[in-house]
Structure 1
Amino acid sequence: MVFREQVSKLFAEWHRICELPGGNDAASTHYISQLHQNGLLKGDEMTDRFFRVLMEISVAHCLSSEVINSNGLQSPHQMQNLSFLAIDIYAKLVFSILKVEQGSSKLFPLSKILSITVKFIQKDSEEKKNSFNARPYFRLFISWLRDLLSPEPIGDGVNFQILTAFAGAFHNLQPLKVPGFSYVWLSLVSHRNFMPRLLIGNAQKGWPHAQRLLVDLFQFLEPYLRNAELAVPVHLLYKGTLRVLLVLLHDFPEFLCDYHFTFCDVIPPSCIQMRNIILSAFPLNMRLPDPSTPNLKIDLLPEIREPPHILSEVDAALKLKLMKTDVDEYLKTRQQGSSFLAELKQRLLLSPSEAASSGTRYNVPLINSLVLYAGMQAIQQLQARTPHGQSAGNTVPLAVFLVDAALDIYQTLILDLDTEGRYLFLNAVANQLRYPNNHTHYFSFVLLYLFAESNQEIIQEQITRVLLERLIVNRPHPWGLLITFIELIKNPRYNFWNRSFIRCAPEIEKLFESIARSCGGLKPMDESMVSGWVSESAH
């Protein structure tokens, strides 16, 4: 109690210094040297207690200032007039202490202060539950981000280390750990003083930190989105997430491109628009050809030979389930009579307890990993067989794609899996239909090949569903998705318009017709043909 009183007096003294007119740098420096002399900034248990008590005092002062007007007609904003004076003074004290430190030596006290702050917020949230108020902490973090990352040239390295220290703190305050902090957390993580700075410069060293924070957000939202339980609070968080993704799509598309695989692993299949935003990203220096251009030859696009840049560890799930060696073995030898294909379906299933908690019988990250990894190996093998400097598309017939062990795996999956498993498998393929690159080219071929070769209309219907549900949501739509769908409806090889599932109901027919028109996927002759059978079936 005595210690608390001492800290209160020191805090009041600091308040007086902050109130001094004009420059108070000398008084401020003297005050901080006194703290050092009193042994309060040594970095030991005493330092922890000092900052903890300062947090308690400033947060308590802020919350006690809340004025709740007895008049019930006041708007919620008028009812919550908080005074942030004590929070601002505390933020300034921390900034002043760190400013005295030189270069990277300021990072030790900062990481200590952030650690104390994180524990304080976690404890406050646990104790107060629904009455937890996150606004004082929002103010505190915003002040720090503004002051500590000032434009003053303090050296890019130090700035970056400060950013990653905050990224670590935000990771420990993620919505799964502190649900009551979710809105504030999303505002902080996406703040202009934080996320853009994390993504710009530093040779992309900040990207893994930003990626981890986005994954934290998706993991929290996943159960709600999977079960479509969007109560008002979750709906607001979902809309905020879409906004953040749209900003990233506009300003940092390469970041979304390079981590698309990781993000698709944690976004449930039902979140079509969210996933489309990520898959629509393409490098800033690329110009996308219009998918509806008549006779567009994608094989001739120079970009279609290039592999996309992927920072995700594509084979991580295969390694985790000890399947990578078996997959590699099959892709190399394509051994006839191998038990690999026969056992594949069973190996993709979750245990009953895992299935209950994840809402699906299948290991979705494992399916995603298998599909992309096998395709990447196939593309490498294909390129090794193709004369240097020529694209696989315009010099080698597509039949070359067919001597491909990956295709055996895909055909086995599409035939052996049940409806749920097949849907997840087809989604994993469709996730690779992005901007022009050799993955988009290969997986577009795979999807169309599976459609053409299947003699089961249920499979063709499911392939159509996976493409269509990604096209009927609001823009943006991934380029590779549009290219694949237009090829499917225009190329007579696929006999698309004569499939019975298109004619199952008049509204379905009209939907296909309107999607086909919006894709620019019908010639005038085709349009009259389609509208002819639409009107016939309506009678």
Structure 2
Amino acid sequence: MHQQGILKTDDLITRFFRLCTEMCVEMSYRALAEQQQHTPATSTAIIRAKCYHNLDAFVRLITLLVKHSGEATNAITKINLLNKVLGIVVGVLIQDHNVRQLEFQQLPYHRIFIMLLLELNAPEHVLETINFHTLTAFCNTFHILRPTKAPGFTYAWVELISHRIFIARMLAHTPQQKGWPMYAQLLIDLFKYLAPFLRNVELNKPMQILYKGTLRVLLVLLHDFPEFLCDYHYGFCDVIPPNCIQLRNLVLSAFPRNMRLPDPFTPNLKVDMLSEIAIAPRILSNFTGVMPPQFKKDLDSYLNTRSPVAFLTELRGSLQVSHEPGNQYNVQLINALVLYVGTQAIGHIHSTGSTSSMSTITHSAHMDIFQNLAVDLDTEGRYLFLNAIANQLRYPNSHTHYFSCTMLYLFAEANTEAIQEQITRVLLERLIVNRPHPWGLLITFIELIKNPAFKFWNHDFVHCAPEIEK
């Protein structure tokens, strides 16, 4: 091919790979159409083998060209060629997806990507030197093809991002966890696509299958890379709809593998005596990024000086975006506000040499804000606010401890039973689903129902349904 000058100019390279991709895809469509015309005797396996035969040969050719393009040591040329080829396949896929619509077939594209991924991650010296760049190229490609952009490719896409080699390479083998933010972005792409269907509980058969697949991917991550879920829990919970209790519990139940969780049911468990309780967890999502600059400025000013006083009275308005029930509030801003105020409060308490407790978290600008939100917000807003607190009740760390105390304090100091009922609801609905349950959630709830100071059992709402009482 070099001798024939096929790879001489950019235009020739592009034309060659575009035509090759289109021919391979066309052959696959023809083979799949053949299968529909014939009796089931031409089994799916035979037709697939026929498609794979051509597609795999094409992938082998791409791999050889990437490996041998440029000098043996010139990684840039190799990666440029790979990026070019991936871009061409993406272009063909998107055009095909738009033209054929319901007739679109994922099979040829899935096979090209998966075989290319496996070939380029083979244990070979030439490939090892460009490994991280190769993974970056695939991540960018998958991000471009995310389900919101190419819904017809969704199943194949989930299979690609959850392939064991891809997960292992992205999360275990990248130096200094460089692959983590890229992989987190792909999961966020998946949650964002699922969100409207889950929020409106519109789960037709295809969506149910996709949801089940998503749960399985999360279970794999929870088992093999729990630290990854710990570090990015904020970004994930930000895009998972409030009604997806179990999906969120899976993310929030993750804890570092080197930690032994104390049994939350231990009688008289002294949480504040645990050594981990003073250590802040790592949060790799940029949560202050959603705050408007003026809002952040006023917030910081209020936390430092308790002025401007108007900040508190205008807070509900700052969080509201519409008057449409169910979509009244800027959920991302509520989540960011709660975590930011909490981290500032913890810093303030630690700077005085204390630790979080029911007595040290009170009478501060931080608690003013939380109490104001609990009292001032309507039912929808308060539910989102309490959910944002509950999202921080995870494994033993300083955030879990502070927010657990805050939740209990808000319950104890509530001026209406409605607030206490909502706090109970937020905790309870996360505990009545199947396991796993986050550790911090359990200790908070156990403290609430066992500690006589909270008079939990004296409230009417506890007895409104036998299931709750039970």
The correspondence for 2:331, drawn from 364, 389, 395, is 364
Aligned equivalent of 2:222: 249
Whether 2:225 is the aligned partner of 1:259: answer no
Aligned equivalent of 2:55: 87
* Secondary structure at 2:2 match in 1: helix
The correspondence for 1:195, drawn from 152, 167, 170, is 167
CA-to-aligned-CA distance 1:497-529 (integer Å, 9 cap, x gap): 1110011133432xxx2xxxxxxxxxxxxxxxx
Distance 2:367 2:310 in 1: 16
Aligned equivalent of 2:97: 125
Distance 1:224 1:80 in 2: 34
The correspondence for 1:408, drawn from 361, 368, 383, is 368
* Secondary structure at 1:194 match in 2: helix
Aligned residues of 2:51 and 2:108 also touching (Cα < 8 A): no
Q: Which amino acid aligns with 1:99?
A: K
* Secondary structure at 1:83 match in 2: helix
* Secondary structure at 2:360 match in 1: helix
TM-score (norm 2): 0.95
Question: How far 1:79 sits from its partner (Å)?
Answer: 9.7
Whether 2:315 is the aligned partner of 1:344: answer yes
Matched pairs, number: 463
CA-to-aligned-CA distance 1:146-181 (integer Å, 9 cap, x gap): 111112234655101100100000000000000000
Aligned residues of 2:35 and 2:44 also touching (Cα < 8 A): no
* Secondary structure at 1:401 match in 2: coil
CA-to-aligned-CA distance 1:95-136 (integer Å, 9 cap, x gap): 111121334131010000011111111111111101100101
Equivalent runs, 1:396-435 vs 2, <5 Å? 398-435=358-395
Distance 1:43 1:196 in 2: 36
Q: Which amino acid aligns with 1:39?
A: G
The correspondence for 1:459, drawn from 403, 419, 423, is 419
TM-score (norm 1): 0.83
CA-to-aligned-CA distance 1:414-463 (integer Å, 9 cap, x gap): 11110000000000000000000000000000000000001311110000
Q: Which amino acid aligns with 1:179?
A: P
Aligned residues of 2:28 and 2:51 also touching (Cα < 8 A): yes
* Secondary structure at 1:65 match in 2: helix
Aligned equivalent of 1:12: none
CA-to-aligned-CA distance 1:231-273 (integer Å, 9 cap, x gap): 1111111110010011001111111100111101100001110
Distance 2:413 2:423 in 1: 12
Aligned equivalent of 1:299: 272
Seen in structure 2, the aligned counterparts of structure 1 residues 72 and 39 have a Cα distance that, compared at 3 Å, is: closer
Question: How far 1:312 sits from its partner (Å)?
Answer: 0.7
Distance 1:124 1:185 in 2: 16
Seen in structure 2, the aligned counterparts of structure 1 residues 114 and 73 have a Cα distance that, compared at 3 Å, is: closer
CA-to-aligned-CA distance 1:3-42 (integer Å, 9 cap, x gap): xxxxxxxxxxxxxxxxxxxxxxxxxxxxxxxx22333224
The correspondence for 1:392, drawn from 352, 355, 366, is 355
Distance 1:56 1:206 in 2: 31
Question: How far 1:80 sits from its partner (Å)?
Answer: 5.9
Seen in structure 2, the aligned counterparts of structure 1 residues 213 and 425 have a Cα distance that, compared at 3 Å, is: same
Identity %: 53
Aligned equivalent of 1:61: 27
Any gaps of 5 or more consecutive residues in structure 1?
1-34, 514-539
Moved more, 82-91 or 254-263: 82-91
Distance 2:294 2:224 in 1: 38
The correspondence for 2:306, drawn from 319, 328, 334, is 334
Aligned residues of 1:43 and 1:109 also touching (Cα < 8 A): no
Deviating beyond 4 angstroms after TM superposition, the runs of 4 or more aligned structure 1 residues are: 69-82
The correspondence for 2:195, drawn from 203, 215, 222, is 222
Aligned equivalent of 2:244: 271
The correspondence for 1:383, drawn from 344, 347, 350, is 350
The correspondence for 2:431, drawn from 471, 475, 493, is 471
Aligned equivalent of 2:397: 437
Aligned equivalent of 1:204: 177
Aligned equivalent of 1:27: none
Aligned residues of 1:125 and 1:178 also touching (Cα < 8 A): yes
* Secondary structure at 2:268 match in 1: coil
Aligned equivalent of 1:521: none
The correspondence for 1:49, drawn from 6, 15, 32, is 15
* Secondary structure at 1:288 match in 2: coil
Q: Which amino acid aligns with 1:253?
A: P
Distance 2:246 2:466 in 1: 26
Seen in structure 2, the aligned counterparts of structure 1 residues 157 and 329 have a Cα distance that, compared at 3 Å, is: farther
Aligned residues of 1:69 and 1:79 also touching (Cα < 8 A): no
Seen in structure 2, the aligned counterparts of structure 1 residues 247 and 296 have a Cα distance that, compared at 3 Å, is: same
Distance 1:231 1:406 in 2: 44
Aligned residues of 1:426 and 1:463 also touching (Cα < 8 A): yes
Distance 1:445 1:164 in 2: 42
Distance 2:286 2:253 in 1: 20
Aligned equivalent of 1:519: none
Seen in structure 2, the aligned counterparts of structure 1 residues 407 and 42 have a Cα distance that, compared at 3 Å, is: farther
Seen in structure 2, the aligned counterparts of structure 1 residues 418 and 77 have a Cα distance that, compared at 3 Å, is: farther
Question: How far 1:44 sits from its partner (Å)?
Answer: 1.3
Whether 2:98 is the aligned partner of 1:116: answer no
Distance 1:402 1:69 in 2: 70
CA-to-aligned-CA distance 1:472-507 (integer Å, 9 cap, x gap): 111110000000000000000111111100111334
CA-to-aligned-CA distance 1:302-325 (integer Å, 9 cap, x gap): 00000001101121111x464111
* Secondary structure at 2:125 match in 1: coil
Aligned equivalent of 1:495: 455
Any gaps of 5 or more consecutive residues in structure 2?
none
Distance 2:2 2:123 in 1: 28
Distance 2:185 2:413 in 1: 40
CA-to-aligned-CA distance 1:52-105 (integer Å, 9 cap, x gap): 000011111122122325577779957964532211111111011112133413
Seen in structure 2, the aligned counterparts of structure 1 residues 445 and 157 have a Cα distance that, compared at 3 Å, is: farther
Q: Aligned-pair RMSD on alpha carbons?
A: 1.9
Distance 1:250 1:124 in 2: 38
Q: Which has the larger radius of gyration?
A: 1
